[in-house]
A and B are shown apart, each in its own frame.
Chain A
Amino acid sequence: MYDKEKDLIGAFLRGEVDRRGLLKGLGAAGLTAGTAGTLFNMMSTQALAADFDWKAHSGKSLKLLLNKHPYADAMIANLQAFKDLTGIEVTYDVFPEDVYFDKVTAALSSGSSEYDAFMTGAYMTWTYGPAGWITDLNEWINDPSKTNPQYGWDDFLPGVKASCAWNGQPGGALGSEDAKQWCLPWGYEQNNLSYNQEMFEKVGASVPKNLDELVATAAKLTKDVGGGVYGIGVRGSRSWATIHPGFLSGYANFGQKDLNVSEDGKLSAAMNTAESKAFHAKWVQMIQESGPKDWSTYTWYQVGTDLGAGASAMIYDADILGYFMNGGDNKMAGKLAYAPFAANPEATAPTPNIWIWSLAMSNFAKDKDATWYFLQWASGLEHAIFGATKMDFVNPVRASVWKDEIFRERLNKSYPGYVEMHDVSAPGAKIHFTPQPLFFDLTTEWAATLQKMVAKEVPVDEGLDRLAESINRQLAEAGLG
């Protein structure tokens, strides 16, 4: 039964037939989507198991710590495939993001062996890695006896992969040759423009191409759309999370940095240059004129929901926020569009700073080899294709998924401009922060300074000079400056 169909799927998995041909063939054979899916999963599992002993740790069990996120939902939906493939039992705890990172810090700092692997951001590994809480994964990646030959480490987008690797030296370049691979990239976010096409058409606005145009367009939208709609949504809470999305993406596009690294490895504040002050002044003006009234309380959640609810006309934030707001039961579903954004008119392309949802292995994991089996499966191509085509794993980190026609068509159909936005900005996408252990201290203070500037408590020039002074003092106290 289904021998012909199995042969077709087998040919696809061997690369002899493309996905379009596979779907056509399965459709011609009269298979329902459910049956085709079951057959496909079965054959994928067989193919995955062909050249590698996935059953080596059968009977063992793992526990995961997960953040409540569509990427985690996609993984949970496919978890049975991993259990069938390996015979490893997997349990997990899921926490909302408000408390998730506190939970991770508490679990790791106490040396708890409860969790074997967990979701993390790359920035967090700058704390976890040097503290000895997580494991350098190079040992497993480079061991052919422990890693499936089909794993495809070279398939990961280079900027994203490098952003998860650091040598532990404050100021050391991410992805350097001596870097430790603290985590595996899983799904990522670039920061670009998501906008309400209907509102833009209503006021005759065109998509801004640089920061000056962004400031002007946001002001025009605020003035002309009416109904209390404001022009641009960006984050503003007193948190590091305010600095890393649109703000740092635009800032980096002007060639500006957070810190200088001297030849002897000493760090110093770099945000009080004339160019940086000019950028800050325009950013502050944009929020004052066209941002949300209670901007200083805005996290990603408010930025996203305002766009989805039609309270804002545009956001300069994570692309997946714009993606999710264009679906579901959001009021503006189907009305949003996307554009790559280079803030600097002289820049040739955007340079989005990125957030990477990654997977890391706890240094206190009970069985690291078995944990690695889970990590390579969860970050593997088969699961990425599953998440990208059947779930909302919208920004995969593997080049081959982005080349997948079915995935691209799916996005193009309902998310106009999304794929193009990704392709244009991906080459410049990476973490633009300087890796160092005071990351959260300095960025939180940066966000607080930005709040003071927007509230006109301090002029931009003076605020940045004071910030730089404070940062230099903290770096010196920590022995880094």
Chain B
Amino acid sequence: MASVTHSGARSGRFRISRRALPYVLSLPALLVCIGILIPFFTAVVYSFQRYRLSQPWARQFNWGENYLNFFTDPGFWNTLKISLLYAGVTVTLELLLGLGIALLLQRRSTVNNFISIMLLLPLMTAPALAALMWKLMTNPGFGILSYLASLVGLENFRWASSPDTALLTVVLVDIWVYTPFIMILLLAGLRSLPTQPFEAAALDGVPRSFVFFRITLPMLTPYILTATLFRLLDSIQQFDIIYAMTQGGPGDTLTVFQVEAYLNFFQSTNVGRSAALLIILWAITYTLSNVFIKNWLRLRERARGEA
């Protein structure tokens, strides 16, 4: 009798557990979602407020005023322009360089493997540290790069301290740090491509340029898109290199989104404006990500013969 009761109780508990199982299993995902969404929606709420930490009594909803103010603020348009320009230039150059290096190292050999490992060193350097290293190397008094520039006739080259060359300088640092990232992704892609099309092209005596543009590049495009997406998202949100080298200057030359938002929050304690800037940055990266992911999916479907 006791045994039956026990069995029935276990059976009842099992039925309850079974009903709850999907919810229990999805709980971690739900918690992660909440963990992501709470800060995000908090930032959205702040972005619709007039909220300065130094004027807590003046805190109130101003709805879209923070955003509307940007339309008449030349500083904002400069920030938008510089952020897009920085991201566009760095990603394009890193992609070209990364692809070039990956093609050079495509053949597996001890030397190529060693070189590819060595080329990864910048990627293992913290970007802020890389910026400080470059700041020293570009010092007009004792920097090695300034010395080298003087040898080719560029006396008094001012690197990050001149508005004419500041963008070029931080782009160089970005390229130094992140080109290996693109290189390693594309190298992995190149080495995983099927060999048959290349063997067939070699047998037919097809010119190298044709092989590259008609076989290699199309087959490598999903990898290129993935690498570009990762770098674009990173690059448009660049902070460390630019802030460590120039704090956004000279003048407003490099006041990209993250630098502007950081200064607005930590220095000006203007939470509302800082949050609005970051929400706009989020919208831009979200849009760019969507474009890239849709293209990537379309290419994948085409590769499978589904489109």
Contacts and interface: CB of A to CB of B under 8 A. Distances in A.
A425 interface: no
Contacts of B270: 441
Interface string B232-265: 0000000000000111111110000000000100
| Chain A contact residues, majority secondary structure | helix
Chain B interface category by residue count: 20 to 34
Contact of B161 (A131, A293, A311): A293
Given A294-B160, A478-B55, A455 B250 contact: yes
Contact of A130 (B55, B140, B161): B55
Contacts of B7: none
Given A130-B56, A132-B56, A478-B52, A293 B249 contact: no
Interface string A97-133: 0000110010001000000000000000011001110
Given A297-B135, A297-B161, A441-B270, A109 B53 contact: yes
B20 to A, nearest CB: 36
B266 A105 contact: yes
A296 interface: yes
Interface stretch (A184-192, A234-242, A397-405): A234-242
Contact of A296 (B54, B55, B246, B269): B246
Contacts of B268: 438, 440-441, 444
B125 interface: no
Nearest to B249: A238
A166 B268 CA distance: 19
B139 A294 contact: yes
A368 B113 CA distance: 63
Interface in A433-452: 437-438, 440-441, 444, 447-449, 451-452
A457 interface: yes
A105 B268 CA distance: 11
Contacts of B112: none
Contact of A131 (B54, B135, B248): B54
Interface in B155-169: 156, 158-163
A51 B161 CA distance: 58
B251 A448 contact: yes
B55 A455 contact: no
A479 B59 CA distance: 12
Contacts of B251: 238, 448-449, 451-452, 455, 457
B58 interface: yes
B141 interface: yes
B162 A238 contact: no
A479 B266 contact: no
| Chain B contact residues, majority secondary structure | loop
A477 interface: yes
A102 B158 contact: no
Contact of B160 (A130, A228, A297, A454): A297
Nearest to B270: A441
> Which interface residue of B56, B160, B246, B251 has the most chain A CB atoms within 10 A?
B251
Nearest to B162: A455
A127 B121 CA distance: 43
Interface string A410-454: 000000000000000000000000000110110010011101101
Contacts of A153: none
B267 interface: yes
A95 interface: no
A454 B249 CA distance: 12
Given A102-B266, A297-B135, A297-B161, A311 B249 contact: no
Contact of B56 (A131, A293, A311): A131
Contacts of B156: 293
A324 interface: no
A295 interface: yes
Nearest to A127: B54
A152 B245 CA distance: 45
A70 B53 CA distance: 30
B127 to A, nearest CB: 15
Contacts of A455: 162-163, 250-251
B119 to A, nearest CB: 29
B234 to A, nearest CB: 22
Contacts of A237: 247, 249
B295 interface: no
Contacts of A444: 263, 267-268
A441 B55 CA distance: 14
Contacts of A437: 52, 54-55
B290 interface: no
B17 interface: no
Given A293-B158, A294-B160, A477-B69, 5 more contacts: A127-B269, A238-B251, A311-B141, A440-B268, A444-B267
Interface of B: 52-56, 58, 69, 135, 138-141, 156, 158-163, 245-252, 263, 266-270
23 contacts: A109-B53, A109-B269, A126-B54, A127-B54, A131-B55, A237-B249, A238-B247, A239-B247, A293-B140, A294-B138, A294-B139, A294-B159, A296-B246, A296-B249, A297-B249, A311-B141, A444-B263, A448-B248, A448-B250, A455-B162, A455-B163, A457-B163, A477-B69
